[in-house]
Amino acid sequence: MVAAVGSNGSERTRGALGAPVVRKDAGAKILGEARYVDDLVYPGMLHGATVRTRSAGGTIERIEFGPGFDWSSFVVVTAADVPGINATQMIEQDQPVLAGERFRHAGEPVLLLAHPDAGLLREALAAVTLHERPNPSPVFSIDDALALRGEVCPGNVYRDYLMSRGDLATGEAAAEVVFEGRFETGAQEHVYIEPQGMIAQVDAAGVLVVEGSMQCPYYVLGTLTAVTGRDAGSVRVVHCTTGGGFGGKEEYPSHIAAHAALLSLKAGGRPVKLVYDRAEDMLATPKRHPSRTLVRIGARRDGRLAFMDIDFALDGGAYTTLSPVVLSRGVIHAPGPYACADARVRGRAVATNHPPNGAFRGFGAPQSIFAIEQAMDGLARELGITPLELRRINMLRPGDRSVPGQMIDDTTDFDAVVDQALRESDYIARRDACTAFNAASAAAGRPLRRGIGLSTFHHGAGFTGNGEVVLASEARVRADADGRVEVVASSSEMGQGNTTTLCQIVAEALGLPLERVTQARVDTHDVPDSGPTVASRTCMVVGLIVEQAARRLRAELIGKAGLPAAGADEHAFAAACARYLDGHPALEMQARYEPPANVAWDETVFEGSPYASYAWACYVAEVEVDLTTCEVALTAFTAVQEVGRVVNPVIAAGQVEGGVVQGIGFALFEKVVRDAQGAMANNRMTNYIIPTTADIPPVRVFFQEQPGGIGPAGAKGLGELPMDGPGPAIVSALNAALGTRIASVPVLPEDVMAALGTSSAKEAA
Amino acid sequence: MSAGAASAADWHRPSSLAEALAIRSRAGSAVVAIAGCTDLMVGWNAGARRLPPVLDLSALDELAAIEVGPDAVTIGAAASCARIATHPVIAARLGMLAASARQTGSVAIQNRATLGGNIMNASPAADNPPVLLAYGARVTLASVRGSRTVAYEGFHTGYKRTLAEVDELLVSVTVPFPASDASIHYRKVGTRRSQAISKVAMAAVIATTVDGAGRQVRAARFGFASVGPVPLSAPTLSAALMGERLVAVDRDRVEHALATDLSPVDDIRSTAAYRRQVAVNLVMQAIAEAG
């Protein structure tokens, strides 16, 4: 992949904010020195394993331990061994860490085993049989759940939100052209490179220490204290090098941590390692929520949107998990970046007997954005104008109020983003070239067809609505007598680069070279809760907090240790630190998130400004389809985005490239196949198909850096944005190439063939 | 966690073919013959049990030779896909085999995976069998009782079953060069462009005679993967095309013949309908290109 990185042309010094510095974690990872949880070995360590249900809900009648094993040599834990609350501490407390008599889905953990011999443990695992009385009428689809064909929980709906603006009837009366469609998106697996795992043990001081792979150490701490009945002082959560998360390590690590902890506590505090292999990880952990969206949108003849009526539903699976907040983000993003005075979005998170779905990069937005973008293409078709023209007419511009109710301020220039995307992709010329190519190809009986498509979208950064206010995140910056500085926060590096960007922000604020700043190990006995490492919030929100803490530290040194207010280099800084620490026990300054004035959100009526900052983007995809096999080749991809100040252009481009590739997988490759009990049947890398480099065209990445983000120097959130755009752009390109109306992802060659219809495919081939 | 290791007593690694055949004769199906082990290991890793006793053929250099003869190349069963893919004569004169070896798993897999293993593992989705069927390969089996050479077509007798007797090992594969004027066509349709298992693969060798009215089929031989319980040739289709003018071959005829020859199913990777239609499309494409 080739990334062309835009520059704002300003002078940037090495190490400072905005410079493409090498990542802090690069050396250890390249050399294989980084230690992941499975690399850790302790004396006397046991290995843990999990016995899971096979049916899509039901009751457990009996647990049978087979012959041939000395079961007294195993540590065995069931729900009866939970000393505290048997539930993960998420939005609701409906999900047990170990199922007791009743369970709701296949793959639900029921019993834990531990033994020093991992091979023997593996054989023993197969000798434990759960005798299940299966739920006779499991529910596997959103439609069935809403029609109450079987009941997972009362009413089968976890949340039901309504966001409305203006008056729908007025808008419908004004509409001269209406488009109506149903759109679906599939489940998606995160495929972080490191499967999930934890090690738990009780240290000499009696503290339960749990370390492992995770995004949100304080979430894990919250579940551990509840499950064990211990207080936060006697439980310590330590972050290990984490090989990717993408949202998949937001909530599920709490389960594994609780399991490892329960085994360790029952084993007298001995270390217990519980690390999943890929198959178990894919089977047990949450997926992106499948969605179905019913869209009716109407426009006046001149193309101005008259109304939007959107019914958005997510398959939450068998427990609530994070579905309500995934849903709210999906609802808020459902109208897309378009102005419409009369609009209504209903959103429901639906209960099914699938294993619970959960957080995944984009968090509901890729699902609802896919629907509105395809609907905009459909409406353009009805209007007889191009998808680009319809977007140009309706794009949010300064002075517009979005459907949720946010005033678009004058720092936003969405047209400039779209202009650059059209220019870089040569969109108009390529569109005409595709049309000509297809005509010639069809005339000559050749099997290739080409198409180009675009998506326009925005993504709100940080927690939705009042989430950041409620979180009230806190971080610290400290320095030692040699002038070495540490960022002290719970924000977890998992490959996305936030250790480096946070250090850059602090180095900039203190006027130090980057080498002088590191991030302290994330350990809940040392670092404050800077919030979960999710929601495109770390650089923007936590960056702001550490910047504030760094400024306070500098002011403290200027005020109390004679640090020159200007022109001080690293030596002057170190000298000031030494002077300060001569008279003070520590040099550590704290800061807390202060919400900007313009962000007010009323959760009860879904109205106001749901996000402090939005990033804006236009993505263009080109495809070539071979009608012989219906295989789709992506031939070009252009990603232009406005993300406020870019803190590190290489890391930022990496986020976009990776997000685009994950979006390509979402659109064209990644299909979760379910067995008859709703469990993932293709839970192997062999059969769950993610794209390889051979499937990816050069991804051309461009940044615009308009001011206006609330983060350091105007930075906005970026991590999730690139997940939103590829799906709709690729499907638009595909429909343009083939004249089809494909309305769901993933689109596999089998789906392309079905969309073409047997006769037309035959003819074309 | 990984499966427990086999004990040394259960790991036989002979240094000569004679020794290997003696073990095979003695132990029969109680030992699993392994070479590159690129597929078996995956299954063992996924399973709960300890490894079965193995007959490890990786020390037998005599099974890894690639010998070029006047009419054919004879490839030792333990020759790696990487060596086959890069062998100059195979690349020049058996291009489909070089291509299928290069599409077997990943580069790392190709360095270990062997042609013999790809055949004896007997997966209907194996990458090299379609090409071997289309070229009309022969396979040589050996046991303490002696050796025999049989046509590869017909070698797979049922899902994961072959003509090999329980005491026999596959020792080599002989691939004849196609007629110099024959056209060859190979395409693997996987779940993605690389490191994929076939949803459909087709190899074809089509020999034609030219006269004033165009090209007439003298012989056409096919091999398919993932459209039945075993790698399949297409005898009905071959017979139907015999003597036909390429420009006159109609799609219905091909479709009809393949309905007899192939038996695709819906599975985790694709659908029967897709496989059937793509197989027909690939044959039509091969016929169009041969013309």
* Sign of the dihedral through C-alpha B149, B150, B151, B154: negative
Q: How many helices (H) and strands (E) does chain B have?
A: 11, 13
Q: Is B198 on the interface with A (CB under 8 A)?
A: no
Claim to verify: residue A588 and residue A538 sit in the same structural domain: yes
Of B144, B136, B143, B139, nearest to B172 (Cα)? Answer: B139
Q: How far apart are CA A55 and CA A461, in angstroms?
A: 39
Question: Is A253 in contact with A237 (CB distance < 8 Å)?
Answer: no
B54-56/B32-34 β-pairing: parallel
Q: Is B1 on the interface with A (CB under 8 A)?
A: yes
Claim to verify: residue A441 and residue A483 sit in the same structural domain: no
Is A383 within a domain?
no
Chosen for mutation from A282, A689, A752 (greatest number of chain B CBs closer than 10 Å) is A689
Q: What is the pLDDT of residue A707?
A: 78
Residue type at position A542: V
Of A288, A250, A238, A226, nearest to A84 (Cα)? Answer: A226
Cα-atom radius of gyration of chain B, to the nearest Å?
20
Q: What residues of B are in contact with residue A686 (Cβ under 8 Å)?
A: 42, 197
CB contact under 8 A, B274 and A630: yes
| 3-class secondary structure, A576 | helix
Is A399 within a domain?
no
Looking at residue A730, which CATH number applies to its domain?
A: 3.30.365.10
Buried b (16+ CB within 10 A) or exposed e, B21-35: bebbeeeeeebebbb
Claim to verify: residue A667 and residue A713 sit in the same structural domain: yes
Q: What is the pLDDT of residue B213?
A: 82
Q: What is the 3-state secondary structure (H, E, C) of A510-526?
A: HCCCHHHEEECCCECCC
Min Cα–Cα distance to chain A from B196, Å: 7
Cα-atom radius of gyration of chain A, to the nearest Å?
27
Q: Give the number of beta-carbon pairs within 8 Å between A and B.
A: 85
- Residue B136 has a CB neighbour count (10 Å cut-off) of 19
CA dihedral B122, B126, B128, B134 (to 10 degrees): 80
pLDDT tens digits, chain B, 291 residues: what are they? 344 455 667 999 999 999 999 999 999 989 999 999 999 888 888 775 678 899 999 999 999 999 999 999 999 999 999 999 999 999 999 999 999 999 999 999 999 999 999 999 999 999 999 999 999 999 999 999 999 999 999 999 999 999 999 999 999 999 999 999 999 999 999 999 999 999 999 999 999 999 888 899 999 999 999 999 999 999 999 999 999 999 999 999 999 999 999 999 999 999 999 999 999 999 999 999 998
**Residue A217, phi-psi category: left (phi > 0), alpha (psi -120 to 50), beta (remainder):** alpha
CB contact under 8 A, B189 and A684: no
| 3-class secondary structure, A94 | coil
- 57-86 in chain B: CB under 8 A from chain A: none
CB contact under 8 A, A125 and B194: no
Claim to verify: residue A653 and residue A707 sit in the same structural domain: yes
Q: What residues of A are in contact with residue B6 (Cβ under 8 Å)?
A: none
Percent of the residues in chain A that have a pLDDT greater than 70, as a whole number: 97
- Residue A134 has a CB neighbour count (10 Å cut-off) of 15
CB contact under 8 A, A123 and B195: no
Q: How far apart are CA A342 and CA A305, in angstroms?
A: 9
Q: Is the peptide bond before A746 cis (omega within 30 degrees of 0)?
A: yes
Claim to verify: residue A679 and residue A726 sit in the same structural domain: yes
A391-425 per-position pLDDT tens digit: 999 999 999 999 999 999 988 899 999 999 999 99
Claim to verify: residue A480 and residue A429 sit in the same structural domain: no
Its domain, for residue A682, covers 418-460+611-765
Q: What residues of A are in contact with residue B5 (Cβ under 8 Å)?
A: 119
And the tokens for A419?
């202009």
CB contact under 8 A, B269 and A687: yes
Q: What is the Cα A626 distance to its own chain's centre?
A: 33
And the tokens for A702?
């461009």
CB contact under 8 A, A753 and B277: yes
Claim to verify: residue A618 and residue A736 sit in the same structural domain: yes
CB contact under 8 A, A689 and B192: yes
Answer whether CATH 3.30.465.10 is correct for domain B62-176. yes
B138 bridge partner residues: B151, B174
Q: How far apart are CA B161 and CA B29, in angstroms?
A: 13
CA distances from residue A113 to A73, A107, A372 in whole angstroms, order as listed: 10, 16, 47
Residues of chain B with CATH 3.30.390.50: 183-290
Q: How far apart are CA B195 and CA A694, in angstroms?
A: 9
| 3-class secondary structure, A69 | coil
Considering only CB atoms, B268 lies closest to which of A447, A669, A687, namely: A687
Is A396 within a domain?
no
Is A278 within a domain?
no
CB contact under 8 A, A694 and B193: yes
Q: How far apart are CA B72 and CA A132, in angstroms?
A: 60
Q: CA neighbours within 13 Å on the CB side: how many for A277?
A: 16
The secondary structure element, H or E, covering residue A395 is none
Low-confidence ranges of chain A (pLDDT < 50): 1-14, 758-765
Residue with tokens 């009385």: A133
A631-642/A128-134 β-pairing: unpaired
CB contact under 8 A, A762 and B50: no
Q: What residues of A are in contact with residue B225 (Cβ under 8 Å)?
A: none
CA distances from residue B88 to A116, A764, B77 in whole angstroms, order as listed: 52, 38, 18
CA angle A282, A288, A291 (to 5 degrees): 135
Is A200 within a domain?
no
CB contact under 8 A, A122 and B197: no
CB contact under 8 A, A695 and B193: yes
CA dihedral B81, B85, B87, B92 (to 10 degrees): 140
A644 DSSP assignment = B
Considering only CB atoms, B281 lies closest to which of A121, A628, A691, namely: A628
A589 DSSP assignment = E
Is A387 within a domain?
no
A680 bridge partner residues: A674
Q: How far apart are CA A248 and CA A740, in angstroms?
A: 34
Is A130 within a domain?
no
| 3-class secondary structure, A574 | helix
Claim to verify: residue A641 and residue A663 sit in the same structural domain: yes
Q: How far apart are CA A561 and CA A512, in angstroms?
A: 17
**Which of B151-159's residues contact partners 24+ apart within 8 Å by CB, and which partners?**
B152/B119, B153/B233, B155/B119, B156/B122, B156/B129, B156/B230, B156/B231, B157/B230, B158/B229, B158/B230, B159/B122, B159/B124, B159/B229, B159/B230
CB contact under 8 A, A765 and B284: yes
For residue A85, count CB atoms less than 10 angstroms from its CB and return exposed for 0-12, middle for 13-18, buried for 19 or more.
middle
Full strand arrangement of the beta sheet holding A517-519: A517-519, A485-488, A474-479, A588-592
Residue of B nearest to A680 (CA): B268
pTM (2 decimals)? 0.96
For A186-321, where are the E strands, in sequence order?
197-202, 208-212, 235-239, 272-275, 291-299, 305-317
Q: What residues of B are in contact with residue A123 (Cβ under 8 Å)?
A: 4, 48-50
CB contact under 8 A, B274 and A694: no
CA distances from residue A668 to A377, A738, B86, B217, B282 in whole angstroms, order as listed: 19, 15, 32, 39, 22
Backbone phi, then psi, for A524, in 5-degree steps? -65, -10
| 3-class secondary structure, A570 | helix
Residues 6+ apart with CB under 8 A from B70: none
Considering only CB atoms, B189 lies closest to which of A121, A125, A631, namely: A631
Q: Is B273 on the interface with A (CB under 8 A)?
A: yes
Where does B183-290 sit in CATH, by number? 3.30.390.50
The secondary structure element, H or E, covering residue A76 is strand A75-77
Q: How far apart are CA A223 and CA A90, in angstroms?
A: 8
Is A448 within a domain?
yes
Considering only CB atoms, A758 lies closest to which of B268, B277, B282, namely: B277
Q: How many domains is chain A built from? A: 2
Claim to verify: residue A555 and residue A488 sit in the same structural domain: yes
CB contact under 8 A, A692 and B278: no
A159 bridge partner residues: A349
Q: Is B281 on the interface with A (CB under 8 A)?
A: yes
And the tokens for B19?
């020794």
Considering only CB atoms, A119 lies closest to which of B4, B194, B197, namely: B4
Q: What residues of A are in contact with residue B192 (Cβ under 8 Å)?
A: 669, 689, 691-692, 694-695
Claim to verify: residue A538 and residue A587 sit in the same structural domain: yes
Residue type at position A444: A
CA distances from residue B135 to B96, B100, B153 in whole angstroms, order as listed: 9, 13, 10
Buried b (16+ CB within 10 A) or exposed e, B142-163: bbeeeeeeeebbebbeeeeebe
B59 DSSP assignment = T
CB contact under 8 A, B194 and A119: no
DSSP characters over A21-67 = PPPTTHHHHHTT---BGGG---TT-EEEEEEE--SSSEEEEEEEEPS
CB contact under 8 A, A629 and B278: yes
Backbone phi, then psi, for A109, in 5-degree steps? -70, 135
A448-461/A613-626 β-pairing: antiparallel
Residues 6+ apart with CB under 8 A from A448: A437, A441, A624, A625, A626, A627
Claim to verify: residue A619 and residue A747 sit in the same structural domain: yes
And the tokens for B239?
């017979």
Of A261, A316, A290, nearest to A104 (Cα)? Answer: A316
Q: What residues of B are in contact with residue A681 (Cβ under 8 Å)?
A: 268
Residues of chain B with CATH 3.30.465.10: 62-176
Interface of A with B (CB under 8 A): 47, 49, 118-123, 125-126, 277, 279, 447, 627-631, 669, 673, 681-682, 684, 686-687, 689, 691-692, 694-695, 749-750, 753, 758, 761-762, 765
Q: How far apart are CA A254 and CA A227, in angstroms?
A: 10
Q: What is the pLDDT of residue A762?
A: 43
Claim to verify: residue A633 and residue A765 sit in the same structural domain: yes
